[in-house]
Amino acid sequence: MNLSHLTPNKITIRYLGLTSLGLLLAQLLFGFIQIRWRYYQRVENLTTKMQDLSQEIRIISQDSQLKLDDGTLERLMKQSSMRRDLLYSIIVNEQREPVVSYLNQQNPTIATALSQLEQDKLESKLEKLSQQPQVREIRQPIISSGKSLGEVRIAYTLESL
């Protein structure tokens, strides 16, 4: 390539332009990576909070056989369900029948799902809701003295992230 027709000024401008373009592309790439990393951090934090909540409800449910009545469990679940990301929390017995449940009907995701599935049983509504792409479900078994008493189910959405 013959560079004799280019003046030093044109070479400098071309070099600065290409260098600026390279730096801009690198900055965009790093920005994208940082946005994705923050998103995954928020998902991980939300998942950890929901797992902690399900463990807390599970532990209290184990003790409910001795001390607490269903009203106490229901109040606890309602208080813990005040988070906007939480869709529902439910305790089912060993026959998979709901003992205590709280559905966050203020959340648009669950309100839409419940209105579309009015005739279905609660179990099938929750099953269809948990199959949505932005919904995650956590299940914790309730075991007392080596005997299974049921499980705690908590579903949350990633839409607000």
Alpha carbon 116 to its chain's center: 22
DSSP 8-state class, residue 161: -
pLDDT digits (tens, 9 = 90+) for 122-158: 777 777 777 888 889 999 888 877 888 888 888 888 8
pLDDT, tens only, 86-132: 888 888 888 887 878 788 777 777 777 666 655 557 777 777 777 88
Residues 105 and 84: their CA atoms lie apart, in Å, by: 10
Q: Position 92: which residue type?
A: V
> pTM of the prediction?
0.71
Given a cut of 50, whether residue 66 has pLDDT beyond it is no
Give the pLDDT of residue 30: 97
- pLDDT tens for each residue of 35-44: 999 999 999 9
Determine what percent of the chain is predicted with pLDDT higher than 90: 21
How much of the chain is in helix, strand and coil states, percent to nearest 5? 55, 20, 25
Domains defined along the chain, listed by start? 10-157 (3.30.450.20)
Alpha carbon of 126 to those of 25, 44, 50, 114: distances in Å? 45, 23, 17, 9
